[in-house]
Structure 1
Amino acid sequence: MGPHPGQKTVLITGCTPGGIGHALALEFHAKGLHVIATARNPAVLSDMAAMGMTALPLDVTETESIKACHDEVAKLTGGKLDILVNNAGRTHTHPATDIDLDDVRETFETNVFGVMAMCKAFADQLIAARGLIVNIASLAAITPYVFGSVYCASKGAVTAYSRTLRLELKPFGVRVMVAMTGTVRSQIASRPHRTLPEGSIYMRVRALFERRLTFSQNNATMDTAEYARKLVKKALAPEWPLLFRAWFGRPDWFWAGGMARGAWLGTWFGEWVFDFVLYRMIGMPQLERVLREEERQKKLV
């Protein structure tokens, strides 16, 4: 079932149930848009298809998969797409000194190159509709999220890319919104996690690292449906002049999720605030104490 005449359309990547993409699909559907929900395994989208949404297979790391999805959407909508939500992503929690570069490349393929590939592929349909791109970023883009250097780097790349994309697409009437997402309930805590390799310099504080793996699910975590309601409301808001967008209309930057307000306020004071808070929030002073004790023991020998 395709969209009704005049019905706006939205394509969302990464709609597996339990995550942000799934919640966004339900909320956009409730607001009357025709949702094109995508996932690498379309079988997980059967419930959404039963509700009248279009379910399509899509792997944002595969060029042919993106092209096939683009062509299907073109047939479905007549070559127009009102909103593209780049939500698909993967977490990456590991100390910077313990990373595996092949693993890092996989994260960037999904979190960064996948976003770029989707924007490139669907630019024609978005331009035809004078549409909106929503790139799901993270507070990690601006915060020193200890043991998350790779994830922070990937989301930092998305925000920088989006800022330039916004200016390049402005003459064509396409808007770009960046979602600076805080802690939000998801399936992340139930997935297999990376472990510290043998000989890691952080094995001394292994418990800190293991607690950090599920930090986003246990610290001021926002309900996924609530986050979706907030984002969809802003995505569907009317256009306002640049100076008033953040308060009344469709903003360039959307801040929501646990700790988002504090992070936004922190940007006004400088990066030292983030360094001070995150260092202590994750528990790094404990490592300092352990290292001092090791030095003390060496001197006693």
Structure 2
Amino acid sequence: MGPQPGQKTVLITGCTPGGIGHALALEFHSKGLHVIATARNTAVLTEMAALGMSTLALDVTKSDSIKTCHDEVAKLTSGKLDILVNNAGRTHTHPATDIDLDDVRETFETNVFGVMAMCAAFSDLLVAARGLIINIASLAAITPYVFGSVYCASKGAVVSYSRTLRLELKPFGVRVMVAMAGTVRSQIASKTHRTLPEGSLYQRVKDIFERRLTFSQNNATVKTEDFARKLVSQALRGESPLFLRSWFGRPDWFWGGGWSTGVWASTWIGEWILDTALYRLIKLNRLEGILKEEERQKKLK
């Protein structure tokens, strides 16, 4: 079943149940939009199809998959797309000194290049609708999220890319919103359970690293549906002059999820406050103490 005449459409990547994409699909659907939910395996989208959503296969790391999805969406929507939500993402928790570059490339393929490819491929449909792009970034883009250097870098790239994309698409009436997501209940932390390699500098505090793997699911974590409700509410606001957007219109930036208010506030104070807070929160000060004690013991020998 396709959209009804005059019904707005939204395409969301990464809609596997339990994640942010799934919650956004349900929320947009409840607001009367026709949702096009996508995932690499459409079998996980059967319940969404039963609700009347369109479901399509999509792997954002494969150009042929993106093209096929684009062509199907163009037929479904008569050549227009009101909202594109780039949500598909991959976690990456490893110390910067322990990374495997092939693994890093896989993360960037999904988190960065997939976003870029989707925006480029669907730009014609978005321009035709004078639509909206929502790129799901993260507080990690601007915080020293310990053991998340690769993930931070990928989300930082999305933020920088989105800011420039916003200006490039402005003449065509296409808006770009960046969602700075804090800790939100999702499946992302459970998909790739990483381990420290033998000889890692951080074997001394292996327990700290292991706790960090699921940090986003255990620290001020916001319910997925609550995050989705707030994001959709702001995405569907009307247009306002630039200087009024943050208060009355559809904003360029959405801050939501656990820690989002504090991180936003810290951007006005200075990066030192985030550096200090996260260093102690992740407990790297304990490693510092261990290293000092090791050095002291060496001197005693």
* Fold shared by both chains (TM-score > 0.5): yes
Mapped contact 1:188–1:214 kept (Cα < 8 A)? no
Look up the match of 1:48: 48
State the alpha-carbon separation in 2 of the partners of residues 80 and 142 from structure 1: 34
Alignment of 1:218-229 (within 5 A): 218-229=218-229
Look up the match of 1:161: 161
Mapped contact 2:27–2:229 kept (Cα < 8 A)? yes
- 3-state SS of the aligned residue for 2:122? helix
State the alpha-carbon separation in 1 of the partners of residues 247 and 219 from structure 2: 27
State the alpha-carbon separation in 2 of the partners of residues 50 and 247 from structure 1: 37
Look up the match of 1:3: 3
State the alpha-carbon separation in 2 of the partners of residues 107 and 165 from structure 1: 21
Alignment of 1:129-144 (within 5 A): 129-144=129-144
Matching residue's letter, 1:209: F
Q: Return the offset for 1:192.
A: 3.5
Mapped contact 1:95–1:147 kept (Cα < 8 A)? yes
Mapped contact 1:42–1:56 kept (Cα < 8 A)? yes
State the alpha-carbon separation in 1 of the partners of residues 238 and 98 from structure 2: 46
Matching residue's letter, 1:235: A
Q: Which moved more, 1:242-251 or 1:181-190?
A: 181-190
- Unaligned segments of structure 1, at least 5 residues: none
CA displacement 1:213-265 (0-9 Å, x = unmatched): 00000000000000000000000000011011011110000000000000000
Look up the match of 2:239: 239
State the alpha-carbon separation in 2 of the partners of residues 125 and 262 from structure 1: 37
RMSD: 0.6
Look up the match of 1:207: 207
Percent identical across equivalent pairs? 79
Q: 2:118 aligned with 1:118, yes or no?
A: yes
Look up the match of 2:31: 31
Q: Return the offset for 1:270.
A: 1.3
Q: Which moved more, 1:163-172 or 1:288-297?
A: 288-297
Q: Return the offset for 1:191.
A: 2.5
State the alpha-carbon separation in 1 of the partners of residues 60 and 140 from structure 2: 21
Paired residues in the alignment total: 301
CA displacement 1:62-108 (0-9 Å, x = unmatched): 00000000000000000000000000000000000000000000000
Look up the match of 1:296: 296
Look up the match of 2:84: 84
State the alpha-carbon separation in 2 of the partners of residues 192 and 166 from structure 1: 32
- 3-state SS of the aligned residue for 1:246? coil
Mapped contact 1:60–1:114 kept (Cα < 8 A)? yes
State the alpha-carbon separation in 2 of the partners of residues 182 and 245 from structure 1: 21
- 3-state SS of the aligned residue for 2:269? coil
